[in-house]
Amino acid sequence: MSLISRSRYLAAGSLSALTLAAAMASGSVFAESVTQEMINNDHLHTDRVTSYGMGPHGQRYSTLDHINRETVSDLTPAWAFSFGGELQRGQESQTLVHNGKIFVTGSYSRLWALDVQTGRLLWSYSHRLPDGISPCCDVVNRGPAIYDDLVIFGTLDAQLVALDMETGRVRWRDTIADYRAGYSYTAAPMIANDLLITGNSGGEFGAVGEVQARNPRNGEIVWTRPVVEGHTGKLPGGEESVTGTTNASWEGSAWEQGGGAPWLGGTYDPELNLIYIGTGNPAPWNAHSRPGDNLYTSTTLALDADTGEIKWHYQTTPNDHWDYDGVNELVLFDMELDNGTVIKAGAKADRNGFFYVLDRTNGRFLSGDAFVDNITWAERIDSDGRPVETGNRPGNPAETEGDRGESVTVAPAFLGGKNWNHMSYSQRTGLFYIPSNEWEMEIWNEPVTYRRGAAYLGAGFTIKPIYDDKVGVLRAFDPKTGQVKWEAPNPTPLWASVMTTAGGLVFTGTPEGYLKAFDDETGEVLWQFQTGSGVVGQPVTWEMDGEQYISVVSGWGGAVPLWGGEIGPLVRHISQGGMLWVFKLHNGGHVASR
């Protein structure tokens, strides 16, 4: 891979008026660069967080145990940083920590570098967004990637921006896709195989999903892989490569605007050199207009990290009619069976309400069990891994005299048994901790015609609560048995990611504004802190100067207040905000050396 030209600075946004000298004062310009090896071993090191998901496997588990069930009651804020201004909305970011700095993104495509000890602003970047952007589900950003001496993040107008880690200067910028055609980008990029891996958003606008791999030092494309059959990708040598077989699972020309946006990002197995990434719903929502399984939408893909070629696939919702997507993360873990056999497995809590366990080496289906109480679109997952449907699909508008087909009530609602917010796997308990939701929807189909850049749904819907006293439920789930070990209900939907630790704790946030710590064996709430706005961010932890720290972003927003239907009155009172909170134990102490 070619080295970046240090003179290639692009004026892509507004840099804060801090001088280079001030930035250099916060840390040496010869600071340690981030390597692929560091990212691959992120889960083994506690003094930094260099990857999304706290390790390439996406387990969101830390071996730190200084903050534990006995000490967590002493947890208190160390410092906080306000994102400021009027640009609030949903704050779904995960922080990265390296070289004395903490990097965090915010709504409207902003990024800050802070002193990790004090929260002092070192530099900031605010992307200049054009008119006419089309983000589906709020103006969120879920975090950056770091590699070499760069901080890289995506923007709502479907661009990538690479910034100098020390100064915040733009080193390169490139376009993922054309925002005027409905494309956008909200995920955190991933570093795998010394490549920068991204997907795209825009399935609700007929945007075709694609995974792209770049040289992270200069942004040059290495390979691309469209995720809808019939579209053409690029191999590393420049040769073209068609995805699947045209019309194999799509009829006519429906595949041309087939959706499938891989809008959440993925995980990576360095040993197998496989990238696992989920794809979104097919377009339009009206499935009567696109008969067939519609590969590779609502699917988990395993991609060869060298070439981007599809090594295996597993589709969770064939011919998706409910916007169940398939983007939810495949968390990689080793599952030991009762006979002592260890399987290299991957687990996924899908929006459709089922929890899947797969052999991550080949995609073989191992199990599929409900993790929510209410599933009415399917009875079960059969032994071949396909859903046994109930027939609860909305009617075809072409078969009615009006402009909409017969409506049905189905659970889960399209926002899912679990949405984008990540579950966590605890190596201590062997359980997954799932931020789930119990809701249903009335849904109906409508005629629709594709128009570039316009919404391409062909459906209407209303989300409704099922229970009077809860929507969100944090569940501890056993992947071996398919059983829920405990659950902790919440009055409003859970929209924050989950983190577990060796201290016997499960951390997540609530729309009511609390960061909470649960006992990982019982589900008892052991500690909580009111952040001032709804928590829909992603907690992480690290150690510094002998102490353990925890951070989380607070700021209410995301898809729920935009698409929540009858859930709206439950969350209408929640204030918006934008803060990064960092916590440690009030009485200090020291982390045991490792």
pLDDT at 197: 98
Query: Taking residues 83-90, what's their average pLDDT?
Result: 84
Judged against a pLDDT cut of 60, whether residue 11 lies above it is answered with: no
Residue 409 pLDDT > 70: yes
Q: In one letter, which amino acid is 529?
A: F
**Where exactly are the structural domains of the chain?**
13-585
Stated as kind and residue range, the H or E segment containing 81 is strand 75-82
Average pLDDT of the residues in 123-143: 94
Q: What is the mean pLDDT of residues 423-438?
A: 98
- At residue 19, does pLDDT exceed 50? no
pLDDT of residue 591: 53
* pLDDT, position 15: 41
Is the pLDDT score of 355 beyond 60?
yes
pLDDT of residue 3: 28
In tens, the pLDDT along 487-532 reads: 999 999 999 999 999 999 999 999 999 999 999 999 999 999 999 9
pTM, two decimals, is 0.94
pLDDT digits (tens, 9 = 90+) for 31-40: 689 999 999 9
- What is the SS3 assignment for 72? helix
Strand order in the sheet with 145-147: 145-147, 150-154, 159-164, 170-175
**Partners of 397 in the β-ladder:** none
pLDDT tens for each residue of 259-281: 999 999 999 999 999 999 999 99
Residue 26 has pLDDT above 50, yes or no: no
Q: Distance (Å, rounded) from C-alpha 539 to C-alpha 6?
A: 34
Q: Which two tokens stand for residue 150?
A: 């760069």
pLDDT band at residue 88, thresholds of 50, 70 and 90? confident
pLDDT tops 90 at residue 381: yes
pLDDT of residue 160: 98
Q: Answer whether the bond into residue 493 is a cis peptide, omega within 30°.
A: no
Distance CA 309, CA 306 (A): 8
pLDDT band at 21 (very low <50, low <70, confident <90, very high): very low
Give the pLDDT mean for 54-74.
Answer: 98
Q: 579 near 82, Cβ under 8 Å? A: yes
State pLDDT tens for residues 537-587. Answer: 999 999 999 999 999 999 999 999 988 889 989 999 999 999 999 999 998
* Confidence band for 7, pLDDT divided at 50, 70 and 90: very low
DSSP strand pairing (408-410 vs 387-389): unpaired
Of the candidate ranges 85-94, 141-150, 229-238, the one whose mean pLDDT is the lowest: 85-94
Give the pLDDT band of residue 589 (cuts 50, 70, 90): low
pLDDT at 136: 87
Q: Which residue has the tokens 């359980």?
A: 431
Active site (annotated) includes residue 469: no
Mean pLDDT of the chain, nearest integer: 93
CATH no., domain 13-585:
2.140.10.10
CA distances from 523 to 417, 474, 489 (A): 19, 8, 10
Q: Letter for the amino acid at 405?
A: G
Nearest to 65 by CA among 522, 585, 475: 585
Q: How far apart are CA 108 and CA 93, in angstroms?
A: 12
Q: Is the pLDDT confidence value at 8 over 70?
A: no
Q: Are 154 and 163 in contact (CB under 8 A)?
A: no
- Quick one: how far is CA 342 from the chain centroid? 27
Nearest C-alpha neighbor of 63 from the set 43, 49, 81: 43
Residue whose tokens read 């609700």: 204
Supply the pLDDT for residue 179.
96
Strands, sheet with 354-359, edge to edge from the N-terminal-most edge strand = 331-336, 342-349, 354-359, 365-370
**Residue whose structure tokens are 């920068």:** 196
pLDDT in tens, 444-477: 999 999 999 999 999 999 999 999 999 999 999 9
In single-letter form, the type of residue at position 213 comes to A
Strand partners for 154: 160
Residue 16 has pLDDT above 80, yes or no: no
pLDDT of res. 383: 97
φ, ψ of residue 342 to 5 degrees: the values are -110, 125
The pLDDT score that the predictor gives to residue 14 is: 40
Distance of alpha carbon 7 from alpha carbon 23, whole angstroms: 19
Name residue 95's amino acid. Answer: T
**Tokens 């504004």, residue located:** 513
- Residue 369's CB is within 10 A of a number of other CB atoms, namely 18
From first CA to last CA, the distance across the chain in angstroms is: 35
> Residue 18: is its pLDDT beyond 60?
no
pLDDT of 140 strictly over 90:
yes
Cβ–Cβ < 8 Å for 157, 133: yes
The three-class DSSP label of residue 23 is helix
Asked if 510 and 435 touch (Cβ cutoff 8 Å), the reply is no
Active-site choice (42, 293, 323, 369): 323
> HSE (CB half, 13 Å, CA atoms) of 131?
0
> What CA–CA distance (Å, rounded) separates 174 from 220?
8
Which residues make Cβ contacts (< 8 Å) with residue 120, sequence separation at least 6? 26, 114
